[in-house]
């Protein structure tokens, strides 16, 4: 029984982990049809922000929950202003440009901080006991954060004026513009928010993963597959795709091993995209956010 509870927690965490690493990418892709290949590096920068600021004596919670999204959000806005805004509507060009950006960021961070960084931060929450099993309390906290983040994103899009403008710009940029909305500002803010969410995710994952300049590469593929499988609806897409892919990955990893777990995730994604080329939300949950 304890095993099943611990296992269920693990599956939920697998799903939450995917949501967390994909949400920033999904916001940018869903709103602006821009696929940000530097997404992994945004996560990495979030991690570095936390490591560096906690080493400088900042409280770890402050560093993870405030500083990481703030720093990476600002970087996101700068990137949008000097690079992305010239490339709207040119998907292949943005792919190439953001890929270049990711190489630049890896190179910069390596040059400044070296190929290895002393990560001396531990998870601020200890282990929890489930019968005979112990599980990471911090993972439980991450599940909670993911839920709060999803609810916040939903409410922001659904009930606030900014959310309305963002959705309007997403559906018809020209009409929104004709109604007096500054679409270019909306895009800049959206990109910044997407980057900030990525930074938050990177910061939150820093205490339980390695923080290295090249760590982004391990996230980008999974985030990319999740977002494409989910389709353009930001929340419904990310949540449904994460549940499916993360669930399959966790269960298969437990039954067979991580290699088959990873293969399973990819096979499901391929079959899914064969059946629904525009992603889950192009067929199901069509009117959702």
Partner 1 sequence: MSTTRRTFLKGTAATAAVLASPGIIGKAAAADKIKLVSILDQSGGLDIYGKPMVAATEMAVDDINAAGGLLGREVELKMYDPQSSIQYYTQYATQAAASDRADVVHAGITSASREAIRPTLDRFKTLYFYNTQYEGGVCDRNVFCTGSTPAHTVEKLVPHAMKKWGKKVYILAADYNYGQIIADWVEKFVRDEGGETVATEFFPLDVTNFGPTIQKIQAAKPDMIWSALVGGAHISFYRQYAAAGMHKSVPIASTTYGVGNEHQLMSAEEGDGILCAYSYFEEIDTPENKAFVERFRARNGGAAAPALNELAVRSYEGVMLWAEAVRNAGSVDRMKVIEALEAPTMIDGPSGAIAIEPTTHHATLNTYIAQVKGQKFQVQETFLAQQPTDTMQVCDLKANPDTVKFYFENGLEAAGIK
Q: Which residue has the tokens 């559906």?
A: 171
Nearest approach, Cβ of residue 110 and partner 1 (Å): 7
In terms of CB distance, is 121 or 195 closer to partner 1? 121
Neighbours of 158 (CB within 10 A): 12
In terms of CB distance, is 80 or 139 closer to partner 1? 139
In terms of CB distance, is 79 or 215 closer to partner 1? 215
Nearest approach, Cβ of residue 254 and partner 1 (Å): 4
129 vs 133: CA distance, rounded Å:
6
Nearest approach, Cβ of residue 73 and partner 1 (Å): 23
Nearest approach, Cβ of residue 265 and partner 1 (Å): 11
In terms of CB distance, is 122 or 160 closer to partner 1? 122
Neighbours of 129 (CB within 10 A): 10
Residues making contact with partner 1 (CB under 8 A): 3, 6-7, 10, 13-14, 17, 107, 110, 114-123, 126-127, 132-139, 205, 207-215, 217-219, 221, 250, 253-254, 257-259, 261-262
Nearest approach, Cβ of residue 162 and partner 1 (Å): 33
């Amino acid at each position: 029984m304890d095993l099943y509870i611990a296992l269920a927690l693990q599956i939920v965490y697998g799903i939450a982990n995917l949501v967390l690493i994909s949400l920033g990418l999904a916001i940018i892709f869903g709103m602006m049809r821009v696929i940000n290949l530097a997404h992994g590096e945004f996560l990495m920068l979030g991690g570095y922000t936390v490591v560096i600021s906690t080493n400088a004596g900042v409280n770890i919670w402050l560093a993870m929950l405030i500083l990481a999204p703030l720093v990476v959000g600002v970087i996101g806005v700068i990137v949008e202003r000097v690079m992305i805004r010239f490339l709207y509507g040119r998907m292949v060009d943005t792919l190439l440009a953001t890929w270049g950006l990711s190489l630049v960021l890896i190179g910069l961070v390596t040059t400044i901080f070296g190929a290895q960084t002393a990560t001396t931060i531990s998870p601020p929450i200890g282990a929890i006991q489930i019968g005979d099993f112990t599980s990471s309390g911090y993972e439980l906290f991450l599940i909670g954060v993911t839920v709060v983040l999803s609810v916040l994103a939903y409410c922001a899009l659904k009930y606030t004026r900014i959310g309305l403008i963002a959705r309007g710009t997403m559906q018809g940029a020209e009409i929104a513009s004709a109604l007096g909305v500054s679409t270019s500002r909306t895009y800049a803010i959206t990109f910044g928010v997407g980057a900030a969410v990525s930074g938050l995710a990177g910061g939150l994952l820093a205490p339980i993963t390695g923080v290295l300049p090249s760590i982004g590469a391990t996230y980008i593929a999974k985030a990319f597959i999740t977002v494409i499988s989910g389709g353009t609806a930001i929340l419904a897409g990310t949540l449904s795709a994460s549940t499916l892919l993360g669930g399959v990955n966790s269960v298969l990893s437990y039954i067979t091993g991580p290699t088959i777990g990873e293969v399973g995730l990819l096979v499901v994604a391929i079959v899914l995209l064969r059946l629904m080329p525009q992603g889950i939300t192009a067929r199901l949950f069509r009117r959702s956010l």
